[in-house]
Amino acid sequence: MNAMGGHRQSQPVAPNAPSETRELLPFLDELIDEIEDTLDIISPNAHLRMTLHLLKGHFEAKTITPTSLIGASRAPYATANRRLKEMVQAGLIEQRPRTRTGKSFSLHPSEKLLSQWVQLSGRLRRLAEGHFGGQATGRESRDYYFGGSYAAAQLIPPLNVLTEPFKVPGGIRVLVHGDPTFMVMENLKRQFEQALGTPINQRAFSIDRLREEALRNAERPASRYDIIAVDLPWIGEFAEKNVLMPLSEAMDVARLDPADFHTAGWKAAHWGGRPYGVPAQTTPELLFYRRDLFAKAGLKPPATTDDLLNAASVLHDPRQGHYGIAWNAARGTALGHTVLMMIADFGQPILDLPEIAGGFDTDHLAESDYRPTIDTEAGLRAAEFLLELMQYSPPDILSMSWYERVRPYASGKIAMAFGYTLLAPYFEGDESSPAHGQTGYLPHPAGPGARQIAPVGGYVLGIPANLPPERLAAAVEALAVFTSPEAQKLFVQNGSRTNPRYSVAADPEVRGASSIFDAVDAMSWRDELQFWPRPPVPEICGIIQICGEEFHDMLRGISSPRDALRRAQDRADALIRPNGKP
């Protein structure tokens, strides 16, 4: 179903893809030419030639026809035609009618091909740097290596006003989380109302109440909201329970420019191979640390869990009201998230996911072939690590949750804190904060044998499955506007510290707003942004709650680490088995 009827069809624009996804295309084209011209025995690789031509056309917003793609293959017509059909059958190429008769159509890279290309281009860049560029991994060296100042050319313009204002009764109705980023959106409501030409009514809830309201809304005959914010771990549950409409049923997903989103954030919006929302916030949980305190104590930024414990012990001075570290330790949802992330810090996901290069495979979760992995060696190490962290935490740590862990850090009472980037405004926007201008941003320190990661959190904006059809076109337009590069830049300029798009991170004005964007961008390029620590299966909220209860009892001294792990494992097994598990 195409929801664009009745509203202006947006004109195609060249996607703001990250630099290497675009700069690598001519480089590979020329490299293949050199190889084939030098070694006559090598025949043209039709698949690769057509892929490069198709991607180049996509990034330059040029129409690609079957004839032009076959010509780009440099293979005999019959061979190229077979290769083209193979790529279509493999789901790498989408065909879109150019005329009403459907006899003529254009070719476009599928979401699958774009995702694979973004990941490949990043790996190729790292290989090139490793073999020819030494250890240079800075942003400046990357831009130079692949052809110049990419960032300087990517100044995102202001938000545009739609040429045709919406005609939707009651305006656009949005359900969101009550966090700083969505509150920025509320503060900018008049600008968005002018852009869309219709009123915007926004309701904000805490995380648990937001989920409850979204589930209640799905049971109503007609949705009360046109757009709802969805925490990334809920995607599987909301897809299975028909809370969200698959984006492909509502709109042309390509208009969102999927390649421009941070790979982890975009992939996390999928279930069963289909996207169910558009990233509005990609906000990894990082380690905030006071650079000035570390320098004074002669400490290096912690890269391992042992480094973290050592720094926390050195900077912990409870007699002066100063503490080493703060983290999510309140019973239930808050601590449950910490448990999943800490187990990941020791190299293991909370489910038995197959290991792949760079992490763990989450592409087949909809097939329900998974089991909890809590009572494991990595789980034990994580439990013992949390007990050690308790020694260097404030006395009220077991009641600290999302905001409570960052507020004392902002006031100068805490030397380090685990926190999502969306919480950075608490100190970045307060010049009186001791942490203002003195905060460094790191991925989670890694346990022995594991690699550093930054667990991706945040929200997507999705369309309720029970939205009345007459409101769908307006909801799609509003969704595209709210998640556009122009809107995301506007959020940043007004205090937000989250960003789901590469192009926004490349904007010089955005990068100048906070060092957090350069830090997160670098983590993305190093493949440290990962969402497998909280896999979005339908049972994940239950698993998080279980871990948050059993580990809280352990931290209070009611149970031992092994008892907490065993009970959490048994409860999680019982939660999943009724859903078809043997």
CATH of the domain at 430: 3.40.190.10
Who wins on pLDDT, 208 or 104? 208
Query: What CATH number is given to the structural domain containing 79?
Result: 1.10.10
Residues 221 and 328 in one domain: no
Confidence label for 122 from pLDDT (cuts 50, 70 and 90): low
Residue 167 lies in a domain: no
Residues 305 and 381 in one domain: yes
Residue 192 lies in a domain: yes
Q: Three-state DSSP class for 95?
A: strand
Who wins on pLDDT, 31 or 528? 528
Residues 204 and 320 in one domain: no
Confidence (pLDDT) at 578: 59
* Of 296, 300, 288, residue with least CA distance to 326: 288
Given a cut of 90, is residue 477 above it in pLDDT?
A: yes
Contact 197, 166 (CB under 8 A): yes
Given a cut of 90, is residue 286 above it in pLDDT?
A: yes
Residue 5 lies in a domain: no
Confidence label for 439 from pLDDT (cuts 50, 70 and 90): very high
> What is the Cα–Cα distance from 368 to 547, expressed in whole angstroms?
21
Confidence (pLDDT) at 126: 64
pLDDT mean over 194-222: 94
Residue 100 lies in a domain: no
Q: Which residue blocks in 176-270 are alpha helix, DSSP H? A: 180-187, 189-196, 207-219, 235-240, 247-250, 263-267
Residues 427 and 331 in one domain: yes
Residue 435 lies in a domain: yes
pLDDT mean over 217-225: 97
Residues 402 and 486 in one domain: no
Q: Is 580 left (phi over 0), alpha (psi -120 to 50) or beta?
A: left
512 C-beta neighbours (distance < 10 Å), count? 10
pLDDT mean over 142-153: 36
- For tokens 């046109």, what's the residue? 226
Confidence (pLDDT) at 299: 97
What domain range is 223 assigned to? 172-282+456-521
Confidence (pLDDT) at 369: 82
Q: How far is CA 251 from CA 9, 20, 217, 470, 489, in A?
A: 11, 28, 22, 14, 23
Given a cut of 60, is residue 153 above it in pLDDT?
A: no
Confidence label for 14 from pLDDT (cuts 50, 70 and 90): very low
Given a cut of 80, is residue 123 above it in pLDDT?
A: no
Residue 412 lies in a domain: yes
> What is the Cα–Cα distance from 207 to 533, expressed in whole angstroms?
18
pLDDT mean over 321-327: 97
Confidence (pLDDT) at 120: 76
Residues 348 and 426 in one domain: yes
Residues 308 and 383 in one domain: yes
Confidence label for 78 from pLDDT (cuts 50, 70 and 90): confident
Residues 227 and 146 in one domain: no
Residues 273 and 310 in one domain: no
- For tokens 């088995």, what's the residue? 577
Residues 262 and 318 in one domain: no
Residues 148 and 272 in one domain: no
Confidence (pLDDT) at 60: 66
Residue 9 lies in a domain: no
Residue 291 lies in a domain: yes
Confidence label for 16 from pLDDT (cuts 50, 70 and 90): very low
Task: Indicate the angle between helix axes 472-482 and 189-196, nearest 10 degrees.
Answer: 130
Confidence (pLDDT) at 149: 34
Residues 25 and 86 in one domain: yes
Number of domains the chain is built from: 3
